[in-house]
Structure 1
Amino acid sequence: MSDKTTILVLDQGHLDNESKLGQGSSIDRLEQYIKIDKYGLPLVPQPSDHKDDPLNWSPLQKYWIVLLMSAFTLTAQFGSALLNPAFVQVAKDLHVTVEQASYTTTVFILFTGVFPLFITPFANVYGRRILYLIFTIIAIAGYIGSAASPTWGGVIAGRVFSGIGNSIPVGIGAATICDLFVQGERGVPMGIYAWATTNGPHVAPIAGGYIAQRYGWRWAIWIPAIILGVLFILALFTFPETLFSREQSNNLEARSYTQKLLFHGKVLDRSIGIRDFLLPLRMTKYSAVTLPCITYMVTLTYGSPLFAVTGSFIGSTVYHFNLEHTGLFLGVPLTVGCLIGELSAGWVSDCIINTYAKRHGGYRKAEARLYLLPLVTLNTIGVATFGYCVDKHKPWIQAAVCMAVSGFGTQVCTTVVYTYCCDSYKPQASEISVIINLFKCLYAFNIGFYGLPIAIKLGFTTGFGVLSAISAFVLIFPLFMILFGEKIRERQGYPKEHQDL
Structure 2
Amino acid sequence: MYNTTSNVAALDRTASRMTCLGEEAGTVRTENRQGDILLLPSPSNDADDPLNWSKARKWWITCVVCAAVFCCNFTTAGPTIAIVQTAMDFEVMPAKAAYLFTSAALVQGLSMLWWAPMCAKWGRRPVYVFSFVLYTIFAFASGACKTWSQQLACRIIMAAASGAGEVLGPLTIADIWFLHERTLPISLYNVFLSVGVGLALFIDGWITAGSGWRTIYWVSGAIIGLVTIAVIFSFPETNYRRGPQPTVTLTQKRVLDHSKKQTYMQSLSVLPKQTWTHDSWTMLFLRPIALIAYPAVAWTALVFAVTIGAIVSVTSNVAIAFGQTYQFGPGLTGSCFIAAVIGSLLALLGGWATDKYSTRRTHDNGGIREPEMRLLPILPALITTPLSLVLYGVGIQHGLHWICPTIGLALINFSAVWATTNAMVYMIDCLKPLAEESVTSVLAYKAAFGFLLSFYTNPWIALMGYQNMFGTFAGISSFCLALVFIFMIWGKPIRKNALQWRLIQKLKWHADRDDIVIEDEDETPVRSLS
Query: What's the offset of the Cα at 1:270?
Result: 4.2
Distance in structure 2 (CA, Å) of the matches to 1:416 and 1:95 = 45
In structure 1, the partner of 2:6 is: none
- Between the two structures, name the one with larger relative contact order (CA 8 Å, sep ≥ 6): 2
TM-score by length of 2: 0.85
Contact in 1 for aligned 2:296/2:430 (Cα 8 Å): yes
Distance in structure 2 (CA, Å) of the matches to 1:15 and 1:120 = 19
Q: How does 1:330-409 map to 2 (within 5 A)?
A: 331-342=337-348, 344-377=349-382, 378-409=384-415
Contact in 2 for aligned 1:36/1:43 (Cα 8 Å): no
Residue 204 of structure 2 corresponds to residue 196 of structure 1: no
RMSD between superposed Cα atoms in Å: 2.5
Contact in 1 for aligned 2:308/2:416 (Cα 8 Å): yes
Contact in 2 for aligned 1:42/1:362 (Cα 8 Å): no
DSSP-derived class of the 2:44 partner: coil
Which residue type is aligned with residue 163 of structure 1? A
Which residue type is aligned with residue 259 of structure 1? Q
In structure 1, the partner of 2:283 is: 275
Query: What's the offset of the Cα at 1:8?
Result: 12
In structure 2, the partner of 1:317 is: 324
Structure number with greater Rg is 2
Change (3 A) 1:38 1:61: farther
Residue 321 of structure 2 corresponds to residue 308 of structure 1: no
In structure 1, the partner of 2:5 is: none
Change (3 A) 1:141 1:50: same
Query: What's the offset of the Cα at 1:16?
Result: 2.8
Which residue type is aligned with residue 236 of structure 1? I
Q: How does 1:53-452 map to 2 (within 5 A)?
A: 53-247=49-243, 253-268=260-275, 270-271=277-278, 272-302=280-310, 304-329=311-336, 331-342=337-348, 344-377=349-382, 378-452=384-458
* Structure 1: gaps of 5 or more residues: 1-6, 24-34
Query: What's the offset of the Cα at 1:254?
Result: 2.7
Query: What's the offset of the Cα at 1:37?
Result: 13
Change (3 A) 1:228 1:36: farther
In structure 2, the partner of 1:496 is: 509
Query: What's the offset of the Cα at 1:163?
Result: 0.8
Contact in 2 for aligned 1:144/1:158 (Cα 8 Å): no
Contact in 1 for aligned 2:27/2:371 (Cα 8 Å): no
Change (3 A) 1:162 1:437: same
Query: What's the offset of the Cα at 1:125?
Result: 2.4
DSSP-derived class of the 2:175 partner: helix
Distance in structure 1 (CA, Å) of the matches to 2:290 and 2:33 = 33
Distance in structure 1 (CA, Å) of the matches to 2:433 and 2:131 = 23
TM-score by length of 1: 0.90
Query: What's the offset of the Cα at 1:15?
Result: 5.2
Change (3 A) 1:37 1:427: farther
Which residue type is aligned with residue 482 of structure 2? I
Query: What's the offset of the Cα at 1:460?
Result: 2.5
Query: What's the offset of the Cα at 1:18?
Result: 6.4
Change (3 A) 1:355 1:10: farther
Contact in 2 for aligned 1:121/1:277 (Cα 8 Å): yes
- TM-superposition CA deviations, 1:231-268 (whole Å, max 9, x none): 11112221111000012999x93322332222353444
Distance in structure 2 (CA, Å) of the matches to 1:368 and 1:375 = 16
Distance in structure 2 (CA, Å) of the matches to 1:164 and 1:499 = 26
* Structure 2: gaps of 5 or more residues: 1-13, 246-256, 516-530
- TM-superposition CA deviations, 1:326-375 (whole Å, max 9, x none): 1112x112211121122x21111111221121112221111111111221
DSSP-derived class of the 2:45 partner: coil
How many residues align structurally?
481
- TM-superposition CA deviations, 1:134-187 (whole Å, max 9, x none): 001111122222222222221111111101111111112111100011111101
